[in-house]
Amino acid sequence: MTSSKTALIQKLNSKEATIGIVGLGYVGLPLMLRYNAVGYRVLGIDIDQGKVSALNEGRSYIEHIAGDKVRQARESGFEATTDFARVSECDAVILCVPTPLNKYREPDMSFVINTVDSLKVALRAGQVVSLESTTYPGTTEEELLPRVEEGGLKVGEDLFLVYSPEREDPGNKHFETSTIPKVVGGHTEECREVGVALYKPAIDTVVPVSSTKVAEMTKLLENIHRAVNIGLVNEMKVVADRMGIDIFEVIEAAATKPFGFTAYYPGPGLGGHCIPIDPFYLTWKAREYGLHTRFIELSGEVNRAMPEYVIGKLMDGLNENGKALKGSRVLVLGIAYKKNVDDMRESPSVEIMELLQAKGANVAYSDPHVPTFPKMREHHFDLSSEPLDSAMLADYDAVILATDHDSFDYDMIRDYAQLLVDTRGKYRNEKNADNIVRA
């Protein structure tokens, strides 16, 4: 056992280590709170001065994370900063930065690379660096390894390099950071041992794997599994609709089989940071090996076509009412990517809004979890959430139920919408409502 490794594991086990979390979003912020709660000093680092200021003032900017928890963390030693040089104070550096796709649907590694380039000069012997961002197999070895060794530190001896994919599910009350098992892969066996020591005090179950590539591929398999099955059920929704069959009734009947079937449900498209993006990370990397991942890419095509399918159903409904989409007033209900959260990442609702706008509709939205349309990298709407009432609903030519938040008054929506496009199956039992179009 190297002296650096022995000393670092002892610091982690005794909770004398300082944990640095780089990227304080939906992954980094819960992780910070967990390490703080179990007794570590935590330093949060983010390029967004607004986030840093909010945290240092004891405020949360994520709806399902209570401000009280942030205040308690501040009172017990947590601090946030935009100064990457302060990485030198940390014994562990956990990277939780975005890994989106570029306009060609290829991996955009700029956030990871820029982050590592910003902190590499502050790295020192006796630290562990863990990447949690979802990415393609080989990223840790190809992008992080050479950069962290630039200053002369040797990974596996002086510095320890780990990949441990994030597994957050915003708004899921059944799981929290501590109860979701943590997969950990190290660049060397020594790195893996340090990685296990890093996560074991904070996470109930740690799952060591043989390499960073295995850990990277594990995360992709988890989300590709979901993407492929959602693509399958979305395609079956289109077929069932054409045949006059209720796909939700079919799924519920199939789900009574006690083995060999897992229920997935259709919707207006895929959302969240993982499921719409991760398959393309693998398909891109597979091309380097001369492979064409046809099955994965086909599911991506099906899922990406869903917003267009919703617009087509809307146009059919408007046509029945003697109206064109161009010039119609359309209200989108729910713009977060899933129910009961404020998470807007890759939300299909936004693509629906852009398609509506491109076709000449006048677009508005209502979402109690997203009061104002946020600043996003690729999407821009100068809109605020409209308060729902009967007169307002009746004033729109059409209403699209895109995200089925529990707080919506579904009876009022049904009773007062001139045309209601249901993408979530909330009105599947409304047999006699002639204003409802199922999409």
HEC assignment per residue over 32-70? HHHHHHCCCEEEEECCCHHHHHHHHCCCCCCCCCCHHHH
Query: Among 190, 210, 230, where does a domain finish?
Result: 210
Q: Does residue 321 lie within any of the structural domains?
A: yes
Give me the domain span that covers residue 428: 305-438
Q: What does the pLDDT look like over 250-282, one tens digit per residue?
A: 999 999 999 999 999 999 987 766 666 778 888
**Is-catalytic flag, 191?**
no
Query: Among 210, 236, 271, where does a domain finish?
Result: 210
Strand order in the sheet with 420-422: 362-366, 329-333, 398-401, 420-422, 436-438
Please report the pLDDT score of residue 368 as a whole number: 96
In the chain, the number of structural domains is 2
Query: Among 210, 229, 263, where does a domain finish?
Result: 210
Please report the pLDDT score of residue 274 as a whole number: 64
Q: Does residue 219 lie within any of the structural domains?
A: no
Please report the pLDDT score of residue 432 as a whole number: 78
Q: Does residue 28 lie within any of the structural domains?
A: yes
Same domain, 204 and 318: no
Please report the pLDDT score of residue 275 as a whole number: 64
Please report the pLDDT score of residue 171 as a whole number: 74
CB 382: neighbour CB atoms within 10 A?
A: 6
**Distance from C-alpha of 130 to C-alpha of 123, rounded to nearest angstrom:** 13
Same domain, 317 and 198: no
The Cβ-side half-sphere exposure at 409, using a 13 Å CA radius, reads 10
Q: Does residue 9 lie within any of the structural domains?
A: yes
Q: Does residue 329 lie within any of the structural domains?
A: yes
Please report the pLDDT score of residue 276 as a whole number: 67
Please report the pLDDT score of residue 11 as a whole number: 97
Please report the pLDDT score of residue 281 as a whole number: 87
Element (H, E) at 243: helix 212-243
Q: What is the pLDDT along the chain (439 residues), one digit of tens a residue?
A: 568 999 999 999 999 999 999 999 999 999 999 999 999 999 999 999 999 999 999 999 999 899 999 999 999 999 999 999 999 999 999 999 999 888 777 889 999 999 999 999 999 999 999 999 999 999 999 999 999 999 999 999 999 999 999 998 777 788 889 999 999 999 999 999 999 999 999 999 999 999 999 999 999 999 999 999 999 999 999 999 999 999 999 999 999 999 999 999 999 987 766 666 778 888 999 999 999 999 888 898 899 999 999 999 999 999 999 999 999 999 999 999 999 999 888 899 999 999 999 999 999 999 999 999 988 767 789 999 999 999 999 999 999 999 999 999 999 999 999 999 999 999 998 877 899 999 9
**Distance from C-alpha of 36 to C-alpha of 65, rounded to nearest angstrom:** 14
Same domain, 320 and 423: yes
**Distance from C-alpha of 279 to C-alpha of 405, rounded to nearest angstrom:** 27
Please report the pLDDT score of residue 64 as a whole number: 87
Do 278 and 220 touch, CB atoms closer than 8 A?
Answer: yes
Q: Does residue 243 lie within any of the structural domains?
A: no
Same domain, 310 and 203: no
Q: Which CATH number covers residue 7?
A: 3.40.50.720
Q: Does residue 366 lie within any of the structural domains?
A: yes
Please report the pLDDT score of residue 406 as a whole number: 96
Read off the DSSP letter of residue 112.
Answer: H
**Distance from C-alpha of 94 to C-alpha of 314, rounded to nearest angstrom:** 45
**Distance from C-alpha of 358 to C-alpha of 361, rounded to nearest angstrom:** 7
Q: Does residue 248 lie within any of the structural domains?
A: no
End-to-end CA distance of the chain: 60
Closest CA to 111 of 217, 203, 25: 25
Same domain, 201 and 320: no
Say which of 90, 96, 191, 274 is annotated catalytic.
274
Same domain, 199 and 326: no
